[in-house]
Amino acid sequence: MTAPRALRRVGLFGGSFNPVHVAHLAVADAAFEELELDRLFFIPAAQSPFKQGIALAPASLRLRMLRLALAGQSHAEVDDQEIRRGGVSYAIDTVRDYARRYPMAELFYLIGADHVAQLSRWRDAPALAGLVQFAVIPRPDELPVAAAPTFRVRCLRGMPIGVSASQIRGRVAAGLSIRWLVPSGVDDVIRQRRLYL
Distance CA 139, CA 127 (A): 27
What's residue 2's pLDDT? 46
pLDDT at 160: 67
Instruction: Give the pLDDT of residue 3.
Output: 47
Q: Which tens digit of pLDDT belongs to each residue from 51-107? A: 777 889 999 999 999 999 999 999 999 999 999 999 999 999 999 999 999 999 999
CB neighbours of residue 78 within 10 Å: 21
Task: Decide: residue 183, CB within 10 A, 0-12 exposed, 13-18 middle, 19+ buried.
Answer: buried
- CA-to-CA dists, residue 166 to 28, 143, 172, 185, 191, angstroms: 19, 21, 10, 19, 16
What is the rounded CA–CA span in Å between residue 38 and residue 40? 7
State the angle between helix axes of 59-69 and 184-192 in degrees (0 to 180), rounded to the nearest 10: 160
At position 100, the amino acid (one-letter code) is: R
Which of these CATH numbers, 3.40.710.10, 3.40.50.620, 1.10.357.10, 3.10.20.30, describes 7-161? 3.40.50.620
Whether 157 and 23 have beta carbons less than 8 Å apart is answered as: no
**Average pLDDT for consecutive 10-residue bins of the chain (197 residues)?**
69 97 92 96 94 87 97 95 96 98 96 89 96 89 77 84 90 95 96 96
Contacts for 125 with CB less than 8 Å, ≥ 6 apart: 119, 150, 151
pLDDT of residue 6: 72
**45 Cβ contact list (under 8 Å, min separation 6):** 14, 15, 16, 82, 83, 89
For the entire predicted model, the pTM comes to 0.90
Contact 83, 44 (CB under 8 A): yes
Residue 126: predicted pLDDT: 95
CA angle, residues 156, 29, 147, in degrees to nearest 5: 25
Instruction: Indicate if the alpha-carbon torsion angle 28, 33, 34, 40 is positive or negative.
Output: positive
pLDDT of residue 15: 94
CB 88 within 8 A of CB 52: yes
